Structure 1
Amino acid sequence: MALDISIFETIHPSRFLSFTIPNPDPSHSSPLIRIAILDSPLQPPTPSSSSLSAPNVAAMFVPKHRESDWLFSTESGHLQLLLSSPNIQRLILIGQQAIVDDPNSPSIYRRPIDSDCLNNLEMTLKPLVIALSPKDYFKYGNLEVPILSYEDNVISSLVLEKCVGNFVGEMLVEDVEIESTNQKREFRRRLRFKRMPNLVQTEIRIVPKTVHCLDSVEIGGNNNIEFSPDLGVLVHVYLVPMVASLALVGSWIDERFQVGFRPKALCLGVGGGAVVGFLKTQLDFQVVGVEADKEVLRVAQKYFGLEDGDFIQICVRDGMELMEKLACGDSYCEGVGHIEPQFDVIMVDLDSSDLRNGVSAPPLEFVRKDVLLAARSILCESGIFVINVIPPSRLFYERLVHDFREVFPELYEIDVGNGENFVLIAKALPTASSISDCENNFLKKLRLAISGAYMESMKRI
């Protein structure tokens, strides 16, 4: 059936369509080109003199060899690409039709060196891109449709496993080599969810086993080199500032150590377990980790070095429900047993599964007064509540701060500096900060374990 181009003349919020056409270059491996068009779920801004020249439509060509990546082959990935491009109401995604891989063969990506073929494809399909643009786009003098480029730091990748969790849905584990700024090759292991493809849920550093020269290492190469998790360093951009927040109660934690107690942490949202493992191995915490999806925990234990044993307890359940359960005096958790409901720190790393406004954290249902009151009641008197925040708007963040102020007497924040994440820290009681206490043994340990820059950038709000 022939495609009626007229259906693309106007914007229809959240409309997603895809189709294939013959590849104009028969030398390519795929005989078909896939075209996907997504209109933004957000209402376009009202035209004004300052916005008439702003583009509201753009095209993007899928990087060669990444056609099957969820980021480019799914509607959720397409939506994230669109929402990360300001002022775009329609994003046209163009790439070779992904070839269905043999399920028994590994999925390997290596960044191509030659981009001439992609440039030729852009020129060939330029009339089609114009035909797929809404009519209103050309009313304000636009003659060209801008071509967006997708770039990241991935040099090569190998998918280790794809699986499905009851709560998070489809997910994958992959080893990647990324560009490094220190002239040393850098290898990472990542966990990603299909519902949010361009958000790396967990990332850890990995090192090759029994290899002394990194020049011979190749992700997915024929040498079958195995990698081991390096749990002594946090590489995910917002995890270091989350841990840096412990400087706010450094004196209290140091006192706990001096009297023979291990400080206790409750971590909601385990993922691959990077923070859980770091708190235990590097800072000698006793940790209770809570993860809603049992399959995520299996993956964490198999690929990311997560251990459930001495000084680490892992619960499979909803984190908000567990806090409210502990706050009500019920300290029994199935599969774990008794949990002492007093913590020195609660760390929350939960994202929203609603993609209509892009990537955001925490979920809206988490920020309820009863949930925050439950969190405060299970903190010790000098405890802190630490949460990773990805605000979809300034209004969201201001409302979040307002809700926290109604429950906690003191708030602090750390700007992660990536344009997305903030770490919000709430104190159970208004007490003097110990950040400047340089003689504190715990603070010395903390500064050795992480960069001190985030400790210094913490500010009261």
Structure 2
Amino acid sequence: MALDKSTFETLVPSRFVTFTFPNPSSLSASGDRRLLRVAVLDSPIQPTPSPRVAAMLVPSHREHDWIFSTEPGHLQLLLSSPGLSRLILIGEQPADGRGSALGFRRQMECERSRREGLEESLKPLVLALSPRICFEIGVPEVTFLSYEDNLVASVTLEVCIGEFVGEMLVEDVEIERGSGCGEREFRRRLRFKRMPNLVQTQVRIVPRENHGETEGGFRIEEMQYRIDARVLVHPYLAPMVASLSLIGFHIDERIRKGLRPKAFCAGVGGGALLAFLSGQLGFEVLGVDVDEMVLRVAKQYFGLEDGDFLRVVVGDAIEWIERVASWKTEGTLVAGYSRDLSVADGMDGKFDVIMVDLDSSDASTGLVAPPLEFVRKPVLLAARSLLCEFGILVINVIPPDRFYYGTMINEVRDVFHDLYEIDVGNGENFVLIATVASIRDCSAYDVSFIMKLNSILSGAYMDSIRKI
């Protein structure tokens, strides 16, 4: 059915329309015009008096990627350009109905020339899809945004569906390590369809065999890999671990007594943080994640292994904290949760650190971490009761705005003794650290645990910890 030509004359918040259009720059083998998929999304924010409209070409061979083929992906692209009222996404019509990233290899020169020629030929289409208000002072300039990342190649390992997180994708990728360095780096990633532009988990992987580094020497899908759990590559995980330097003296004392320090992780994902705490730092670790399928993926693809010193439980981490706190302080046992509580009892005591990596993913508002449910006084009090005398609460924070972050800081400050912060430096994440008691100054001592942290993490993260 033909589109009504007036459909695009006005801006309608959150309206999403897709259709096909003949490619003006490409013919099929039979001489027919190939089809383009055109997707038009209006911002969920009410339009401004002077709306901005832009178009973007889907990178070649990434038409199936959720970033470009789904409404949540499209919305995140729009929201990443502040002030944009309408984003017109244009790419090759996928050959079939598959909706996930099936793998690709980037071709830089071919892609550049294709993009330049196609942009010029599509300007009339973009003008036709612009709202009438844009023409009040003449014909507007057509703006094409470019999408660039460090992805060189990818191959999909599995697409599956979790009860709580929905459809998810496990992929191996090759990325650029920097301009002109000539090195290849490979990672395994987990992405959720509900927020396809966000990498939920990534770990470094290393080819099991030695292959040449020349272009075309081998293809990523032909390789077998092993997980390199010695390095944290996800942007905010190393800063979260660096926060342990604040209680380095206390952890040293535990280790000298022959005891393992204990960590509770609210949210597991691929398990990179848990594996690092256990394998590299000698912690006894307990993790809780709400989705059983996520834990299956973590064990199958990301090297997470249950053992004597690393255990995972399926459950809502916030509820779990409240249940265990109630049980430990009041002896109240909630029906149906005896197994979970026995795991906590097996940890034999309180935790030295609680690390919170939970988010409230909603494509319409963007990513927020932690969810609002966590920043409630009963939950914060419960978390505090599970920490030892010198314990710390470490939270990965992605605030939607400064007001949210300021309010959160005040809520946490009401429950804990002191607050510290690490700015991850990516323009998105902060690590908030709350202490049960005053932190002992270790600057005049050679603390073995802090020296170990310095040897396996960037010291810059520890140097950037500031009291707030």
Measured against the shorter chain, the TM-score band is over 0.9
The residue aligned with 2:102 is 107
Matched, 1:343 2:332: no
| SS of residue paired to 1:206 | strand
Q: CA separation in 1, counterparts of 2:62 and 2:131?
A: 28
Q: CA separation in 1, counterparts of 2:227 and 2:439?
A: 38
1:137 Cα deviation after fit: 2.4
Task: Name the stretch that deviates more: 74-83 or 324-333.
Answer: 324-333
Q: Would the aligned equivalents of 1:58 and 1:145 in 2 still touch at CA under 8 Å? A: yes
Count of equivalent residues: 450
Equivalent residue runs for 1:171-250 within 5 Å: 171-181=168-178, 182-211=181-210, 213-215=212-214, 218-221=218-221, 224-250=222-248
Normalised to the residue count of structure 1, the TM-score between the two structures is: 0.93
Q: CA separation in 2, counterparts of 1:433 and 1:79?
A: 46
Task: Name the stretch that deviates more: 324-333 or 408-417.
Answer: 324-333
Q: CA separation in 2, counterparts of 1:355 and 1:368?
A: 23
Matched, 1:390 2:389: no
The residue aligned with 2:279 is 281
Unaligned runs of 5+ in 2: none
Q: Which amino acid aligns with 2:36?
A: I
Q: CA separation in 1, counterparts of 2:389 and 2:365?
A: 37
Equivalent residue runs for 1:43-192 within 5 Å: 43-45=46-48, 47=49, 56-100=52-96, 107-113=102-108, 114=110, 115-139=112-136, 143-181=140-178, 182-192=181-191
Deviations 1:340-377 (A, max 9, x none): 45110011111112222222211122211111111111
Deviations 1:56-89 (A, max 9, x none): 2111111010001000000000010011011101
Q: Would the aligned equivalents of 2:23 and 2:36 in 1 still touch at CA under 8 Å? A: yes
Q: Which amino acid aligns with 1:369?
A: K
**Percentage of pairs with the same residue:** 57
The residue aligned with 1:2 is 2
Q: CA separation in 2, counterparts of 1:241 and 1:93?
A: 36
The residue aligned with 2:407 is 399
Q: Would the aligned equivalents of 1:175 and 1:187 in 2 still touch at CA under 8 Å? A: yes
Q: CA separation in 1, counterparts of 2:154 and 2:77?
A: 20
The residue aligned with 1:40 is 43
Q: CA separation in 1, counterparts of 2:286 and 2:327?
A: 17
Q: Would the aligned equivalents of 2:54 and 2:143 in 1 still touch at CA under 8 Å? A: yes
Matched, 1:361 2:360: no
Q: Would the aligned equivalents of 2:191 and 2:200 in 1 still touch at CA under 8 Å? A: yes
User: Among 407, 428, 445, which residue is 2:436 paired with?
Assistant: 428
Q: CA separation in 2, counterparts of 1:334 and 1:66?
A: 45
Q: Which amino acid aligns with 1:170?
A: E
Q: CA separation in 2, counterparts of 1:374 and 1:106?
A: 41
Structure 1 pair 90–220 and aligned structure 2 pair: CA distance change class (3 A): same
Q: CA separation in 1, counterparts of 2:217 and 2:339?
A: 44
| C-alpha RMSD of the superposition | 2.1
Normalised to the residue count of structure 2, the TM-score between the two structures is: 0.91
The residue aligned with 1:291 is 289
Q: CA separation in 1, counterparts of 2:319 and 2:163?
A: 18
Structure 1 pair 231–38 and aligned structure 2 pair: CA distance change class (3 A): same
Task: Name the stretch that deviates more: 397-406 or 114-123.
Answer: 114-123
1:183 Cα deviation after fit: 3.4
1:457 Cα deviation after fit: 0.3
Matched, 1:441 2:439: no
Q: CA separation in 1, counterparts of 2:251 and 2:172?
A: 36
1:333 Cα deviation after fit: 5.4
| SS of residue paired to 1:198 | coil
The residue aligned with 1:454 is 461
Structure 1 pair 397–287 and aligned structure 2 pair: CA distance change class (3 A): same
Structure 1 pair 287–32 and aligned structure 2 pair: CA distance change class (3 A): same
Q: CA separation in 2, counterparts of 1:183 and 1:220?
A: 16
Structure 1 pair 349–28 and aligned structure 2 pair: CA distance change class (3 A): farther
Q: Would the aligned equivalents of 1:101 and 1:107 in 2 still touch at CA under 8 Å? A: no
| SS of residue paired to 2:6 | helix
Q: CA separation in 2, counterparts of 1:126 and 1:146?
A: 9
Q: CA separation in 2, counterparts of 1:17 and 1:355?
A: 17
Q: CA separation in 1, counterparts of 2:194 and 2:444?
A: 44
Deviations 1:99-150 (A, max 9, x none): 22789x9922011231322322212221110111112223356621211000
1:5 Cα deviation after fit: 2.4
| SS of residue paired to 2:360 | coil
